[in-house]
Amino acid sequence: MDEFTENAEDVEVIYLDEEIDESAELQEVEYNNDQSEPVDVAKVTFTKHSKSVFCCDLSRDGQIAVTGGEDDNAYVWSTTDGSVVFECTGHKDSVTAVCFNHNDELLATGDMAGMLQVWSVKEKKLIWCYEGDDMEWLTWHPLTNILLCGSHSGEVYVWQVPQGNCKVLTSHGSACTCGQVLPDGKHLLAGYEDGYVKLWDLKTATVKWQFTDSQVNSLEINSDGSLCSLAPSSTLLKINDGKVVGKLVVEGEPEIEAHVFSSELNLLVTGSLSGQLCVWDLPRQAIRHQAKLDCGVTILKLGLNGKVYIGTTSGVVYVCDVRTGGLVETFTGHKVDILSLCVSQDGLSVLTTSDDETAKIFVSQSTT
């Protein structure tokens, strides 16, 4: 069992070895909480935003970052020195979604009021714009220049960009809070505020199945498109038919805030605002590792080689190895909640945004 580094003084850790009887009492290790000002270990700090920074994305080569915030602005900037490449102007409300397309040639930005803009990264100019209903989420198709947007009214819009041809996945009267395109590129899994989950056929704009949960704020899909996880209920569904596989929660923690699959290792990592962090063995639906942080978990992202990046309400980002349950690295510098996080494709750098009005680039010192 790996020992946590001395930077993890505000963490209470609980481990469950795979060979131990699941009914056995878990060992608890407590660390003293260090209240001193955290050292800023970021390589670059971006300070152009004047309010909370809600969202971020990285180009495939990790050289360019984009961030959007409560100040109604989105910036494209260099991850090397923080210099602005160009500014995405024209938004009238908080920018809550930013994303590069599959080949980094296009960038989409969206605000809460429903203004969507698509920019040519090379030409640094606006090439397409749409203004509609309040936006809930925004994402590109993983293979082609199709932009998808979920709205507060419940419609999901599917555009060809920049042609502007649009297909609408109709609403049943509840906000569409989240959506992801399946790895096959032919289907969309969408979650709704009233608890509905629907598998849409993108070609025919028809529903293949639907499931009702208590509420759906976010969903995650594993790499082969066979399983999805729902938050806050932590319900697992089979994607081919929408049947429930199980519900991965611990006693006294009925809801999760964040979740991410480690598909290669057949694990699911969940985190809650109470600080509960769990690594679940999916075949057994049992806890592999468990930890209790002194701060809430706001976001989870998967890296390479079994690493998971944990954004917290304290502004600290923990990097853990889901195989061993050990803490690999700690990134400090933010002062309050981590609101978004993106890991570079080579796993060497991490982009974070926060309520402290900054975005930061951290460089990993771990090579394994």
For residue range 184-233, what is the model confidence (pLDDT) as tens digits? 999 999 999 999 999 999 999 999 999 998 899 999 999 999 999 999 99
Q: Residue 161's pLDDT band (boundaries 50, 70, 90)? A: very high
Cis peptide before 232 (omega within 30 of 0): yes
Q: Which helix (H) or strand (E) holds 367?
A: none
**Per-residue exposure over 165-197, b if at least 16 CB sit within 10 Å of its own CB, e if not:** eeeebebeebbbbbbbbbbeeebbbbbbbbebb
Q: Residue 3's pLDDT band (boundaries 50, 70, 90)? A: very low
- Identify the DSSP state of 265: G
Q: How far is CA 158 from CA 90, 190, 195, in A?
A: 22, 13, 22
Any idea which residue has 């923080």 for tokens? 82
* High-pLDDT (> 90) share of the chain, %: 86
For residues 175 and 153, is the Cβ–Cβ distance under 8 A?
yes
Q: Which two tokens stand for residue 280?
A: 């679940």
Which of 105, 123, 126, 125 lies closest to 115 in space, CA to CA? 126
The residues near 18 (Cβ < 8 Å, ≥ 6 apart) are: 281, 288
Judged by DSSP in three states, 21 sits in: coil
Q: Say what the pLDDT of residue 230 is.
A: 98
- Identify the DSSP state of 253: B
* Distance, CA of 281 to CA of 287 (rounded, Å): 6
For residues 351 and 338, is the Cβ–Cβ distance under 8 A?
no
| pLDDT surpassing 90 at residue 2 | no
Which of 128, 132, 57 lies closest to 93 in space, CA to CA? 132
> What mean pLDDT is reported for the chain?
91
* Distance, CA of 161 to CA of 102 (rounded, Å): 13
CA 49 to chain centre: 21
Judged by DSSP in three states, 213 sits in: coil
Q: Say what the pLDDT of residue 327 is.
A: 95
* High-pLDDT (> 70) share of the chain, %: 90
For residues 297 and 309, is the Cβ–Cβ distance under 8 A?
no
Least confident of 21-35, 163-177, 307-321: 21-35
